[in-house]
Structure 1
Amino acid sequence: MRPVLLASALTLAALPGWAGDVTVFAAASLKNALDEVAAEFAQRTGNTTAISYAGSNALARQIIEGAPADIFISASTDWMDEVEKAGLTRQRGDLLGNTLVLIAHGTDAEAVPISSDTDLAGMLDGGKLAMALVEAVPAGQYGKAALENLGLWDGVQADVAQSDNVRAALALVAAGEAPLGIVYATDAAAEDNVTVVGTFPPDSHPAITYSAALLTGADGAGRAFYDALSGDPARAIFENHGFVVTD
């Protein structure tokens, strides 16, 4: 996403009346990286940022129901489409990509190839498979699609422990409450007490695309932050956290 800039973020922030809080609704998987982006933005422009993290589905519904926000960053273009259909976006674009992985509790789990031959039910050994809500949250939807395409869903469906968002699923595995989980690679990298044991083939699920939008209620500070998301400092931060930056 490279939007046409009316002026630089620094210039916008320097104009009288442009400084102020920016409210961002963002997919839970973005927390570590986006917190850094917001800190860099605040240091550079003087604008503070309040970020609400949750599943993209919940955030989209809140925005549609009237929750005040300047920016929405969704882990699914489908949920962004819903916000756009409601007439609440001024500008949107694809921002990032990610990878879907299988994680295990602890730091010494052995890697396994993920394919239609993977004995995922056997690996669970009576435990639970932590996933975000499989019918609503993007990480859960991608995970279910991958398992279905690989012919593994029926064998583990009864053992899936669903969470409100992908970070909650990550927490279940990190705490040892579930032996395995399906999350994004960037989530696994943010947690020391899990190990990536396998990566799902990219063609087993829809492409993971994070879409960002400037919402209709945003002011100049919101515009500045939206533009900053595709700037060089933000790109470097996202890449450092393992995201794939969309050109």
Structure 2
Amino acid sequence: MVAALLLSGLCAGPVGAAEPVLVFAAASLKTALDEIAAQFEGETGQDVALSYAGSSALARQIEAGAPADVFLSANPDWVDRLVDQGLVRRRDVVPLLSNRLALVAPAQDGSAAGIDALPDALAGGRLAMALVDAVPAGIYGKQALGTLGLWPALQDHIAQTDNVSAALRLVALGEAPLGVVYATDAQAEPLVRLVSLFPEDSHDPILYPLARLGAGERGFFDYLQSPEAAAVFSRNGFGLVAHVP
């Protein structure tokens, strides 16, 4: 498990040194969170260990005992599940960010039509998506395609990946002609271009709750709600739901 590998690395530090804050975060947050963690480390001297994956995989690792201090999920359901199991206290959950769902194509492909043209626009290829029954981006994507009446025609033409970043890579490398990812992914990856945003009412709101698991950890948890972090999230295309003024 990633968490176990990270923990073994943490234990190898100098005697007396503060252990890094272990953060589990949805893969779609990597660009912004890498920058925020570097800022925090520079300002405080406290190290941050970041582990990215699909929210479902991370939540299951926490259920199995992974020692995460902070969890940033791309879907409230996985945090609610941890709350129901007594692994997170409700008062330690903050609705932090929002996002949009996007259809993307390889940057060099200027011919890709919009959402309404699916599945004909695939031209025999597959639509890259995160796992449609487990990973938030895939769940939102399946929901949106279903609302728009497109899922029955597309369900046998999906290339499913473990997380949204992997779906993005398939499109960036030209291995899939189209993909369903977050708008922030489309902004961060120069090898893809935004074809269209899905209507917001075609799927549940895309919300990223922030949860604190370590009883003694507050520094990075609070920093993620700060104006400094908010500026980075906003620059990377995330909507701000809550932050410390």
- Which deviations, in whole Å up to 9, do the C-alpha atoms of 1:137-188 show, x marking residues without a partner? 0000000000000000011111100000000000000011100000001111
Task: Give the aligned CA root-mean-square deviation in angstroms.
Answer: 1.5
Q: Which residue of 2 aligns with 1:207?
A: 205
Q: Quote the sequence identity (%).
A: 56
Contact 1:101 1:184 in 2 (8 A): yes
Q: Is the 8 A contact 1:100 1:143 kept in 2?
A: yes
Deviation of 1:200 (Å): 0.2
Aligned partners of 1:99 and 1:185 also within 8 Å: yes
CA contact (8 A) 1:25 1:53 kept: yes
- Higher relative contact order structure (alpha carbons within 8 Å, sequence separation ≥ 6): 1
1:49-88 → structure 2 map (5 Å cutoff): 49-88=48-87
Counterpart for residue 128 of structure 1? 126
Shift of 1:189: 1.2
Aligned match of 1:144 in 137, 142, 145?
142
* Residues 1:240 and 2:196 are matched in the alignment: no
User: TM-score w.r.t. structure 1 length?
Assistant: 0.88
1:7 is matched with none
CA distance in 2, matches of 1:112, 1:92: 40
Deviations 1:9-43 (CA, angstroms, capped at 9, x unpaired): xxxxxxxx995410000000000000111011111
CA contact (8 A) 2:105 2:112 kept: no
Q: What is the TM-score normalised by the length of structure 2?
A: 0.88
- Please state whether the residue corresponding to 1:210 is helix, strand or coil: strand
Partners of 1:26 and 1:51 within 8 A in 2: yes
On the 8 A contact 2:112/2:121 being kept in 1, the answer is no
What is the alpha-carbon distance in structure 2 between the residues aligned to residue 71 and residue 173 of structure 1?
Answer: 30
What is the alpha-carbon distance in structure 2 between the residues aligned to residue 79 and residue 141 of structure 1?
A: 12
Give the total of aligned pairs: 225
1:185 matched to which residue of 2?
A: 183
Q: Indicate if the aligned counterparts of 1:98 and 1:244 stay in contact, CA closer than 8 A.
A: yes
SS in 1 for 2:222: helix
Deviating beyond 4 angstroms after TM superposition, the runs of 4 or more aligned structure 1 residues are: 110-113
Structure 1, unaligned stretches of length 5 or more?
1-16
For residues 85 and 136 of structure 1, the distance between their equivalents in structure 2, rounded to whole angstroms, comes to 18
Q: 1:108 to 1:179 in 2, by over 3 A?
A: closer
User: After the TM superposition, which residues 1-247 of structure 1 pair with which residues of structure 2 at under 5 Å, given as runs?
Assistant: 19-90=18-89, 91-110=92-111, 112-114=113-115, 118-215=116-213, 217-219=214-216, 222-247=217-242
Gaps of 5+ in 2: 1-15
Asked if the contact 1:100–1:182 (Cα under 8 Å) also holds between the matched residues in 2, the reply is: yes
> Which amino acid letter does the alignment assign opposite residue 92 of structure 1?
V
The corresponding residue for 2:3 is: none
> Displacement, 1:130?
0.1
Contact 1:110-1:197 within 8 A present in 2 as well:
no
